[in-house]
Amino acid sequence: MGDEADVRKVLAEARGRGLVARGLARSYGDAAQNAGGHVLDMTGADRVLDVDLAAAEVEVEAGISLDRLMNLFVPLGMFVPVTPGTRYVTVGGAIAADIHGKNHHVAGSFAQHVRWLDLLTADGQVRRVGPAQDPALGADADPDLFWATAGGMGLTGVILRARVRMKPIESSQTLVDTDRTPDLDSLLALLTESDHLYDYSVAWIDCVAKGARMGRSVLTRGRFARRDELPARKQADPLRYSQAVKLSVPDVFPPGLLNLATVSAFNELWYRKAPARKRDQLQSIPTFFHPLDSVGAWNRIYGPRGFVQYQVTVPFGHEETVRRLLERISGSGHASFLAVLKRFGEGNPGMLSYPSPGWTLALDIPVVRGLAALLDELDELVVDVGGRTYLAKDSRVRPEVFERMYPRLEDFRAVRARVDPDGLFTSDLARRLHL
């Protein structure tokens, strides 16, 4: 879509199966799918409308990507406040999924850096809403609608524009510390003791290793380097930023290539090649934040059956459940090629916002027989201790389990009924989970 008039035109036509807005389609499930209905491509609405360099704020249309924001503003000394593992996410999608990154433990999720957003609702009105009552927004800031939209997966309306607080930086380089931990206990202890010292933190975790090696990990943590911390050759142009796809995966991988044997071999190599302990390694933004973006069509390595992304959070105090999850996965014969563990900080008022205090584990698991039953079993372990799954990555959680995961679900439903009583904004995910 190109502008607000285009969106209004589609809105007027979208009855029956309704519509949902879509950004760059990086959700792993059915959040931006709407079988038999309308799907609104927002990527054409990608203008920068205002920039305040002193306040480090930008006003942008919802279809602009984090990739474009980085290309435009890193050279000016501003980084996006939160980024997931890919930069190919729109601002509208970042709000609708309330994305998180390696800095959640200190910076929260994306919506916490949004001053306001403009939302086109089912009645054709454009409402400027914010996270709290704000005289600058007038009497209609409607924080409840803001926090239903943040993490609401596009079900309250179409996000048109937003004003976002950026992160000031002195350079485009990060200083990264690496620690190799031999087991789950040592990883959790290291994160608990010292994660507060770092702006960004993530652990690659071996989900195949068993016994004494179970949960062995490579932990990388860092922050942006100051200009005076750069080598002399880089200080002349400290904010230089570039990124490129270095290679592309051919579409030739057969089913079953990523199996227990091949993933075990890869994990052994990946763990052994990492330094046991390394400090202050300079890494670029693409290398530290978005390594998979440098590999085009990386998902093809999973073959024609594809994979399931499974991400859950387990609250602090239930570390034994994290152990049980890993034990069940490593003993199941299902191999996760890519697995990461992070430490979440405090949540926010978002009614369906995913992050909450605890340990978040994300897995990419090839689709093979028996996987659905395994994931259902893992869901029960998670929900029994008050954990939850991430809607932006979900494609299969059962609605009765989902109901137990989000205590503010009824609040979300009430706001949605208020602004969209006929359910104009909907999706396959909404129907599957009875939202």
Query: Which of residues 7 and 404 earns the better pLDDT score?
Result: 404
Same domain, 261 and 130: no
Over residues 224-235, the mean pLDDT reads 97
3-state secondary structure the chain: CCCHHHHHHHHHHCCCCCEEEECCCCCCCCCCCCCCCEEEECCCCCCEEEEECCCCEEEEECCCEHHHHHHHHHHHCEECCCCCCCCCCEHHHHHHCCCCCCCHHHHCCHHHHEEEEEEECCCCCEEEECCCCCHHHCCCCCHHHHHHHCCCCCCCCEEEEEEEECEECCCCEEEEEEEEECCHHHHHHHHHHHHHHCCEEEEEECCCCCHHHCCCEEEEEEEECCHHHCCHHHHCCCCCCCCCCCEECCCCCCCCCCCHHHHHHHHHHHHHHCCCEEEEEEEEHHHHHCHHHHEECHHHHHCCCCEEEEEEEEECCCHHHHHHHHHHHHCCCCCCCEEEEEEECCCCCCCCCCCCCEEEEEEEEECCCCHHHHHHHHHHHHHCCCCEECHHHCCCCCHHHHHHHCCCHHHHHHHHHHHCCCCCECCHHHHHCCC
* Percent of the chain scoring above 90 in pLDDT: 74
Q: Which CATH number is 278's domain given?
A: 3.40.462
Rounded to the nearest integer, the mean pLDDT of the chain is: 91
pLDDT classification of 254: cutoffs 50, 70, 90: low
pLDDT at 125 over 80: yes
Same domain, 237 and 112: no
Same domain, 84 and 120: yes
The pLDDT of residue 105 is 98
Same domain, 138 and 270: no
Same domain, 112 and 230: no
Q: Which amino acid is at 20?
A: V
Q: Residue 389's domain spans which residues?
A: 173-404
Same domain, 145 and 17: yes
pLDDT at 184 over 60: yes
Cβ-contact 94, 108 below 8 angstroms: no
Same domain, 154 and 205: no
pLDDT at 255 over 80: no
pLDDT in tens, 330-352: 888 776 767 899 999 999 999 99
pLDDT at 299 over 80: no
Over residues 97-121, the mean pLDDT reads 98
pLDDT classification of 108: cutoffs 50, 70, 90: very high
The pLDDT of residue 332 is 82
- Over the range 310-322, which residues count as b (16 or more CB within 10 Å of their CB) and which as e? bbbbbbeebbebb
355: burial class by Cβ within 10 Å (0-12, 13-18, 19+)? buried
The pLDDT of residue 298 is 56
pLDDT classification of 12: cutoffs 50, 70, 90: confident
pLDDT classification of 295: cutoffs 50, 70, 90: low
Query: Which of residues 408 and 369 earns the better pLDDT score?
Result: 408
Report the number of distinct structural domains present in the chain. 2
pLDDT classification of 365: cutoffs 50, 70, 90: confident
pLDDT in tens, 187-206: 999 999 999 999 999 999 99
* Percent of the chain scoring above 70 in pLDDT: 92
pLDDT in tens, 28-64: 899 999 999 999 999 999 999 999 999 999 999 999 9
pLDDT at 75 over 70: yes
Same domain, 23 and 86: yes
Q: Which residue has the tokens 């004494």?
A: 212
Same domain, 215 and 260: yes
Nearest to 89 by CA among 156, 28, 20: 28
Whole-number Å distance between alpha carbons of 408 and 389 = 14
The pLDDT of residue 41 is 95
Cβ-contact 163, 57 below 8 angstroms: yes
Cβ-contact 18, 156 below 8 angstroms: no
Same domain, 264 and 116: no
Q: Which of 298-302, 349-353, 373-377 has the lowest mean pLDDT?
A: 298-302
pLDDT at 280 over 80: yes
Q: Which residue has the tokens 């979300």?
A: 412
Same domain, 398 and 425: no
Same domain, 152 and 219: no
Over residues 208-232, the mean pLDDT reads 93
Cβ-contact 363, 313 below 8 angstroms: no
Q: Which CATH number is 106's domain given?
A: 3.30.465.10
